[in-house]
Amino acid sequence: MSRARPPRRVVRAAALVAVLVVSGCGGQDDAGPSGAEPSGLPAAPAPEANRVVDPAAPPPSINALDVDPVANEFLLTTNRGFFRIGRDSGRVAQVRATVRSGATIASVGTSLELAVSGRGRLIGSGHPDQEGALPEFLGVMTSADGGRTWRVVSRLGEADLHKIVIKHDRMYGFDAVTGALLVSRDDGKTFSEQFTPSGVPIADFEVDPDDPRRIVAAGDTELYRSADGGATWKQLGSASGSRLAWPAGDALFRALKDGSVQRSADGGATWRTTGRIDGEPYRVKAMSADELYLVIGDGTILHSRDGAKTWEPAFEP
């Protein structure tokens, strides 16, 4: 099944690269989880109880997964919208987010990529929920209120980031419009650009936490590594549907389409299988080399506390 965001119209057809993204119980009210600081977001109850994915909507079903450490909530964006989910309570609240450029405002959520960049601060990209109000590609956006409101800061109508990584005081993003890896030192206002392996659709990428120039990128069936910030790439081997997380220099993880989860201690040169999940992975979020979260296609979030050896549900829709 293809998980690429279907374009609403052809833009820069010669430059487009097909990209795949990997993207509890309890009441659903507007309050934050017990004991957590209130997020201040205009959250609404999730539709149909905890159902956060629409199986009838176009893929991808999952766009992004991150963790808000202040509110102790998962930030999950799907083809149904943007959700905050209590890590302890499993409580689901849908965020009614909007994006502004100049005097124009549109809702955003069903095609939203995001990453936590600081206390209450997010960096994002994607498409507006309604056509016509703003360009199809929202470029780079920032939010200072946990994702309730967004402001376009650069590349409106020009960039569509399908993955964002915040490391080394830099923002890394893969732009599906140009097929380029973008790197910013000023929260997305300006960028340097490097192109990923020619002609290879990039499904995911990660950055070495010990070296800002070492990057691993996953195509649909192959893996590549750069040691010079994306200027040149070396193929590392084949793997189907890799979803990546790199929390420590000797702990690079990939979850494969067949449900196996592997770990590399040498930056992707060699791998060993550590565990297995029941389902196809869309996004992996590593809190440390021992603690990881992984979301599968129906919105279930799995949790490992032993370096991806065993997994249990942290949230079940």
Of 30-34, 54-58, 77-81, 104-108, which gets the smallest average pLDDT? 30-34
Is there a domain that residue 34 lies in?
no
Is there a domain that residue 25 lies in?
no
Is the pLDDT at 20 greater than 70, yes or no? Answer: no
Is the pLDDT at 221 greater than 70, yes or no? Answer: yes
Tokens found for residue 127: 């498409």
The answer to whether residues 57 and 70 touch, using CB atoms and an 8 Å cutoff, is no
Q: How many domains does the chain have?
A: 1
Percent of the chain past pLDDT 70, that is, above it, reads: 84
Is there a domain that residue 207 lies in?
yes
| pLDDT value for 15 | 34
Distance CA 241, CA 233 (A): 19
Please name the residue that has the structure tokens 């992984």. Answer: 294
Distance CA 192, CA 27 (A): 45
What is the average pLDDT across 156-183? 95
| pLDDT value for 48 | 55
Q: pLDDT tens digit string along 136-162?
A: 999 999 999 999 999 999 999 999 999
Is there a domain that residue 59 lies in?
yes
Please report which confidence band the pLDDT of residue 201 belongs to, taking 50, 70 and 90 as the band edges. Answer: confident
| pLDDT value for 200 | 78
Tokens found for residue 296: 């599968």
The amino acid at residue 211 is: D
Distance of CA 100 to the CA centre of its chain: 21
Residue 199 CB partners (closer than 8 Å, separation 6+): none
| pLDDT value for 172 | 97
| pLDDT value for 1 | 36
Is there a domain that residue 19 lies in?
no
Distance CA 311, CA 174 (A): 29
Is the pLDDT at 39 greater than 70, yes or no? Answer: no
CATH number for the domain spanning 214: value is 2.130.10.10
Q: Which residue has the higher pLDDT, 216 or 16?
A: 216
What is the value of pTM for the model shown? 0.85
Is there a domain that residue 37 lies in?
no
| Residue numbers of the domain that contains 299 | 43-315
Is there a domain that residue 30 lies in?
no
Is there a domain that residue 248 lies in?
yes
